[in-house]
């Protein structure tokens, strides 16, 4: 399964844990290694200086298709 940054953005926007989160840019997808099927998805969010929104996402889990993503 290949995933695009547009798909990730759509998934994030449809998930309740991202209700008050505004993305600062498109998600960036980086494959862990050439032979791995694991990726890291980097997201930048608009947040207060206290980083309260980012802190609320730490250790949250959500589904991307049949896979579970952990923040």
pLDDT for the residue 49:
79
Given a contact cutoff of 8 angstroms between Cβ atoms, the answer to whether 33 and 21 are in contact is: no
Q: Please give the model's pTM, rounded to 2 decimal places.
A: 0.79
**Terminal Cα distance for the chain, rounded:** 20
pLDDT for the residue 38:
87
Q: What sign results for the dihedral spanned by CA atoms 24, 22, 7, 61?
A: positive
For residue 37, list its beta bridge partners: none
pLDDT for the residue 1:
67
pLDDT means per 10 residues in the chain (71 residues)? Answer: 89 92 93 89 88 92 88 92
For residue 32, list its beta bridge partners: none
pLDDT for the residue 26:
95
């Amino acid at each position: 399964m290949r995933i695009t940054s547009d798909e990730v953005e759509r998934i994030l926007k449809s998930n309740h844990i991202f209700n008050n989160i505004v993305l600062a840019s498109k998600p960036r997808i980086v494959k862990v290694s050439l032979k791995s099927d694991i990726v890291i998805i980097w997201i930048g969010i608009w947040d207060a200086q206290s980083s309260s929104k980012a802190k609320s996402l730490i250790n949250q889990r959500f589904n991307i298709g049949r896979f579970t993503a952990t923040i």
